[in-house]
A and B are shown apart, each in its own frame.
Chain A
Amino acid sequence: MQSGNFLRNIWIIMKREFAGYFGSPVAYVFIVIFLLLTGFFTFYISNFFEAGQADLKGFFQWHPWLFMFLVPAVAMRLWAEERRLGTIELLLTLPVTVTDVVLGKFLAAWCFIGIALALTFPLVLTTMYLGNPDMGVIFCAYLGSFLVAGTFLSVGSMTSALTRSQVVSFILAVVACLFLILAGFAPVTAVLSGWAPMGLVDLVSATSVLSHFASISRGVLDVRDLLYYLSVMVFMIFVNGVILQNRESA
Chain B
Amino acid sequence: MIEVRRLTKQFGKHPAVDNISFSAEKGEILGFLGPNGAGKSTTMRMITGFFPPSSGTVIVGGSDILTQSLAARRKIGYLPENAPVYPDMTVSRYLDFCAEIRGFGGAAKKQRVGETLERCFLADVRHQAVNTLSKGYKQRVCFAQSILHDPEYLILDEPTDGLDPNQKHEVRLMIREMSATKAIIFSTHILDEVDSVCSRAIIIANGKVVADDTPDGLRRRSISHGSVVLTVTGAATDDIQQRIEVLDGVASVSVVESDGERTTLRIFPDDPAVPVADRVIASANQDGVRLASVFVEQGRLDDVFREITTGIRP
Contacts and interface: CB of A to CB of B under 8 A. Distances in A.
Interface stretch (B79-87, B281-289, B291-299, B300-308): B79-87
Given A19-B89, A19-B93, A89 B101 contact: no
B70 A87 contact: no
A93 B76 contact: yes
Which has the most chain B C-beta neighbours within 10 Å: A95, A245, A249?
A95
A23 B102 contact: no
A217 to B, nearest CB: 37
A15 B96 CA distance: 11
Interface in B27-58: 45, 48-52
B143 to A, nearest CB: 12
Interface in B97-120: 97-98, 100-102
Interface string A193-230: 00000000000000000000000000000000000000
B78 interface: yes
10 contacts: A15-B97, A20-B88, A24-B88, A86-B82, A92-B49, A93-B49, A94-B73, A95-B70, A95-B101, A249-B51
Interface of A: 1, 9, 12-13, 15-16, 19-20, 23-24, 85-87, 89-90, 92-97, 245-246, 248-250
A20 B11 CA distance: 34
Interface of B: 11, 45, 48-52, 70, 73-74, 76, 78, 80, 82, 84-89, 93, 97-98, 100-102, 142, 145
Contacts, number: 66
A250 B81 CA distance: 12
Contacts of B51: 248-249
Contacts of A248: 11, 51
Contacts of A23: 88-89
B93 to A, nearest CB: 7
A85 B81 CA distance: 12
B145 A90 contact: yes
Nearest to B74: A95
Contacts of A12: 97, 100-101
Contact of A96 (B82, B101, B145): B101
B45 to A, nearest CB: 7
A97 B49 CA distance: 11
A38 B80 CA distance: 44
- By Cβ-Cβ distance, the 8 closest A-B pairs, closest first, are A86-B84, A95-B74, A95-B73, A93-B48, A89-B80, A87-B84, A12-B100, A23-B88
